[in-house]
Amino acid sequence: MSDDPEDLAGLRAEIDGVGRSAAKRFDPGAGAMLIAVAVLAVLVSFVLPWVGEDTGLRVLLGEAPAMPKVFSYAVLVAGVLFPAAALAVRRWALAWLSALASFAASVSGVLSIWMTQTTTGHQPGPGPGAGLVVAVIAIVVLLVKWLKIAASRPALQ
């Protein structure tokens, strides 16, 4: 083995490069299973009724005159697409993006539940269906999990 300074400098640069690459990635550990279960719950919620007899899928596709249309888009993006991308790539930026999107979707979901219970008249609204409640609970679980993962990033040295 040679002690050539150029070889040692090249080896040091390679080690530093691997360290920088590893610092950009997160390891969800056992939390990945909870995220996967929450994503599955979001997907199942789309076949359950959200408002009256209208399913989440009908709301998403615009076939139902239901109120939580914004939430249906938000939960699809924040509850399915971003978690899938973040778990596949495992980058901190996607973990933070998933956390922020989950926050926005959870606020939209709580407002959707509230909107289904209220109307402009004196009669109460149709109320939230089981699918809407499941979707909101799943997105709040995702919010908590993504915040824990995103906030666990070690300080750069």
The values of phi and psi at residue 25, to 5°, are -115, 150
For residue 21, pLDDT over 90 is answered with: no
Could you give the C-alpha distances from 108 to 61, 73, 111, 127, in angstroms and in order?
A: 18, 10, 5, 16
Does residue 89 or residue 27 have the better pLDDT? 89
Q: Residue 81 — very low, low, confident or very high, per pLDDT cuts 50/70/90? A: very high
User: Would you state the pLDDT for residue 18?
Assistant: 64
102-157: pLDDT as tens digits: 999 999 999 999 888 886 666 777 788 999 999 999 999 999 999 998 888 776 54
Residue whose pair of structure tokens reads 């939390």 in the numeric block: 31
Angle of CA points 103, 81, 116, to nearest 5° = 50
Q: What pTM, to 2 d.p., does this model score? A: 0.81
Task: Decide if 80 contacts 42 (C-beta within 8 A).
Answer: yes
Radius of gyration over every alpha carbon of the chain, rounded to an integer in angstroms: 22
3-state secondary structure of 3: coil
